[in-house]
Amino acid sequence: MSSSSGFLRPVDGSHRRMFIGGAWVEALSGEVFETRDPATGALLATVPAGSAADVDRAVKAARAALEGPWSRFKPAARQALLLKIADLFEKHWEEIALSDTLDMGMPITRSRANRHRALGTLRFYAGMATALHGETISDSLPVGEYAAFTRREPVGVVGAIIPWNGPTASTLWKIGPALATGCAVVLKPSEEAPLTPLLIAEIMAEAGVPEGVVNVVTGTGQAAGAPLAEHPDVDKLVFTGSTATGQSILRASAGNLKRVSLELGGKSPVIVCADADLERAVPLAAMAVFGNSGQICIAGSRLFVARAIHDEFVARLAAFAEGLRVGRGIEPETEIGPLVSRRQMERVLGYLDKGRAEGARLEAGGGRLSEGFFAYGNFIRPTVFAGVADEMTIAREEIFGPVISAMPFDDLEEVVARANATPYGLAAGIFTRDLSTAHRLANRIRAGSVWVNAYHAIDPALPFGGYKMSGFGREGGVEHLHEYLNTKSVVIRID
């Protein structure tokens, strides 16, 4: 790949620039910040510390693109562009996977395995680019004869703010539908993991995305994210992150009543019925939380197990947790990598302390790995708590770490009530061999995604999003594209 962005390889400690209006630029303030390998503490790069002034020039670049050549791209041209981007992703996938692994700690096997989802997402959006259309309406107006129809038009400039726990997936979920619908984007990645979004911007430029259509402004949430949320010339805001930040963004959007989509936190239940296939359920329930070291909004961290099998299931779960290989994400044998930062590690360790103090029983893990090279990174053992009560802190609050809270239940009515007794509603898992039980539970769980005898089954064609405090709006599926479109009614009198 070209080195116009300064993106050499993600371990050289070099300086990277942000991408605005088709150019690689520094922050107007000249300030920078560091991003470090969470497994070793090594400096990966320095990155511009963008501010409101940088956000403003990025929004202006996006607006100029909408009023320039990009507005003349027909659906087939946008489709061809997305397909070219997908081909370049396929060509450079090893570099993308390595960037995710080093910048936020994801095991390289998991990063590489995301290839199917990334390419599928881009090609799904490409397919949808030529399938978005309005409708012809039969009117009932009392006088006259009319031709009435609707048009689907791009919403305009999209401000996108993403988290650090899945840089590639989050970036594509924001930029992909914008390109398919004809919008322009200003992306603000997390300061904890800004490198992959910058690499993706380089791929977009190489594919021929017009200047200003995709812009990446690096910086903190306060210095760059908040100004993007408040900017009066941003037409729509999409955000993935914590519920508290989502609430702030929603308040900030009121200035110009910009449209908002929020994918926020979760405290997802996993329900294991007495008839479940334990050989399948144990590893899936474990990795529903331990995958990505628990740093995932849909982590199935509240584990409800039928009392008849509870003790056996927890024993198997603890043995599975103890057998997982924890290590640096770059090592192919690693199954559980580090947490993204020292601050996040300390936060999770605080929850482990609260679990013990409130009476939960530790079955596996329960602390930091600090021997040898582990001392330089942010490693926590995969942890299983039993004897957890619903009111305990670890059962109520989103931990964002590799921590499972196991709790017994006696009947379906009880477990439905307990599963729904949370302000969140992002996802849920159900393990049963009985189709009737699966349907009954899936119908009554208040969550945006319910997986039966599976978990993390996210497909580009399926809408994904939350209920309640887990946000609103959908990513994935046809509904996702509609989030980036306005509907216009056109009525023409023809008599």
* Amino acid letter, 95: E
pTM, two decimal places: 0.94
Q: Measured between alpha carbons, how far is residue 186 from residues 62, 214, 224, 242, 475 in Å?
A: 7, 6, 11, 20, 17
Q: Is the pLDDT of residue 246 over 60?
A: yes
Cα–Cα distance, 297 to 383 (Å, whole number): 17
Average model confidence (pLDDT) for the chain?
95
Q: Is the pLDDT of residue 11 over 70?
A: no
- Cβ atoms within 10 Å of 101's Cβ, excluding its own: 26
pLDDT tens digit string along 330-354? 999 999 999 999 999 999 999 999 9
Could you give the percent of the chain with pLDDT greater than 70?
A: 98
Q: Is the pLDDT of residue 3 over 90?
A: no
Return the pLDDT at 13.
86
- Name beta bridge partners: 385: 362, 405
Q: Is the pLDDT of residue 6 over 70?
A: no
Confidence tier at 55 by pLDDT (50, 70, 90)? very high
Residues labelled catalytic: 263, 297
Return the pLDDT at 12.
74
Confidence tier at 7 by pLDDT (50, 70, 90)? very low
Q: Is the pLDDT of residue 468 over 90?
A: yes
Confidence tier at 5 by pLDDT (50, 70, 90)? very low
Confidence tier at 1 by pLDDT (50, 70, 90)? very low
Q: Is the pLDDT of residue 494 over 80?
A: yes
Contact 408, 386 (CB under 8 A): no
